[in-house]
Structure 1
Amino acid sequence: MALNLAAMNFSRAIHTSAASNQIIKLTRLRCVDNSEIGKKAMRSGKPPRTIHIYNKKGVGFIGDKVMVAVCGEKKKGILVGLKANQDKKIPKFDSNNVVLIDDGGNPLGTRIHVPIPHVLRTILKEKTFSKGADYTKLLAIATKFV
């Protein structure tokens, strides 16, 4: 009887947490453009990590602006693909993808290697305004849309 009680207490001590369905702080991302710093980080096996998400919710979804730590530097990026379950018209990706940008919203690379969701066009056009960042260049360097 005492052995069974000890076994039951041991099974109660094991905890599992639910999988995170969004981008939060310290999430590892995959740099999918051909910027030098992004290629260097992916080759070295130290992918970029999220430091800050620029929205009121504190969790990142597709099209959100994030700050990442990459190769010991702070860079900004746009989330272009997520592993999380998305809305019906947004595809689910195998990895969390980011494109690095500068402060003006211009991409650091000249090409995006993976397909990006077609709905990202409407999301980024809503976030582009006259005196702010211009995300249309990011859409222009994309080679494929899903």
Structure 2
Amino acid sequence: MNVPLRKFLGQCSQAAGLHTSAPLEHIQKMTRLRVVDNSKLGKAAMLEGRPPRCIHVYNKTGIGHTGDKVLVAIKGQKKRGILVGCHQNQKPLMPKFDTNNLVLIEDNGMPLGNRIHVPIPTMLRKKLTDMSRPKGADYTKILAIATRFI
């Protein structure tokens, strides 16, 4: 493809309002997430068509993977959540999902909802039990409310 034609196609796509950048394959700031529990806040945001966006990922790299804790902006509030499924290339034995799934939690690790509607990876059991602390947050409640595992 010659250069003038490529430049012309780029201008046409910008004029039409189309995105020409490649999609990102990891969770970072401003990534849209899907709430998969039955919390009232999560249901309302998803029904409005304004899904939560990631504000911060609680790890050293700033890139979220399955099992990481994130801070999200949802309906004008800041809430924490656990990533229970990611749409990116995963490590071996970790399933790849169609969407970036999130379970909303309180500051002490208790989930806001009482049921998770999608299956969560079984490899997440070890990671969440390692993250739980006796006097801190207890993330094993997320495993208790999950109904299906992959």
Amino acid at match of 1:61: H
Percent identity reads: 58
1:124 aligns with 2:128: yes
* Helix, strand or coil at the partner of 1:68: strand
Deviations 1:73-108 (A, max 9, x none): 110000000110101201111100000000000000
Amino acid at match of 2:46: M
Please show how residues 69-108 of structure 1 align to structure 2 within 5 Å: 69-108=73-112
Deviation at 1:131, TM superposition (A): 2.1
Equivalent position to 1:19, from 6, 18, 23: 23
Any unmatched runs of 5+ in structure 1?
none
Moved over 2 A (4+): 12-19
* Helix, strand or coil at the partner of 1:129: coil
TM-score with structure 1 setting the length: 0.90
TM-score with structure 2 setting the length: 0.88
Equivalent position to 1:67, from 71, 85, 89: 71
Please show how residues 20-39 of structure 1 align to structure 2 within 5 Å: 20-39=24-43
Mark the structure with the bigger radius of gyration. 1
* Helix, strand or coil at the partner of 1:11: helix
* Helix, strand or coil at the partner of 1:74: strand
| Rounded Cα–Cα distance in structure 2 between residues aligned with 1:8 and 1:106 | 56
Amino acid at match of 1:21: E
Equivalent position to 1:139, from 111, 120, 143: 143
| Rounded Cα–Cα distance in structure 1 between residues aligned with 2:5 and 2:109 | 52
Aligned length: 141
* Helix, strand or coil at the partner of 1:66: strand
Deviation at 1:139, TM superposition (A): 0.6
Any unmatched runs of 5+ in structure 2?
11-18
CA RMSD between the two structures:
1.8
Amino acid at match of 2:3: M
Amino acid at match of 2:67: G
Amino acid at match of 2:75: C
